[in-house]
Amino acid sequence: MNRKRIPILLLTAIIGGSSACHRAQSSSFYSKFSMRLMATSSKSSAILPCDFSAAAGGGGEDSIFSTRRGFAGINFESNKSANFSCGLRPDSLPVADEERLLVSLRQQVEDSLRGFGANIKASGNPDGHSFYFNYALEDLQGRIQVTGKRLGARYNLQAEIQESNRPLN
């Protein structure tokens, strides 16, 4: 073999091997999930009467915090928190509508998981203000928990998503 080809073959092998180790370490569901999009969809916005005026404190924030741990695709865990908050009129969103909102969001999250090809392993409603899904997607184990709470004249929605290539606790 020609000596000039050896460095080129070695470089190609290193680059190819490196890309294989750095595959995306979270699912498309994880990376594309937005609490803001869920809350402002036509299914939810009919129930959640956000008042985006300055007098109501505005609204529509969508903050995301995400962390990843792991090395070169061996063992990893990704955590993401997505939040949405909006101002409410004083007489809006009675308890019955709040329950309808969470039922609507639960269905949207379930539909989204299934749309990405997830196998839902478990689900539940630990209290009247939250729900969760444990799922398997590709070679990943995941969990999403969504919580909704009224705080004064604001309504806050928070989604916590965790994915790992190992079983979750």
Give the pLDDT mean for 100-125: 95
User: What global pTM score does this model have?
Assistant: 0.77
Give me the phi and psi of 66, to 5 degrees please. -140, 140
Q: Fill in the amino acid letter for 110.
A: E
Per the DSSP assignment, residues forming a β-bridge with 149 are 156
For residue 11, pLDDT over 80 is answered with: no
Predicted confidence band of residue 109 (pLDDT cuts 50, 70, 90)? very high
Q: Find out if CATH 3.40.50 is the number for domain 25-164.
A: no
Residues composing the chain = 169
For residue 130, pLDDT over 90 is answered with: yes
Nearest partner of 31 among 107, 149, 102, 137, judged by Cα: 137
- pLDDT, position 129: 92
- pLDDT, position 119: 97
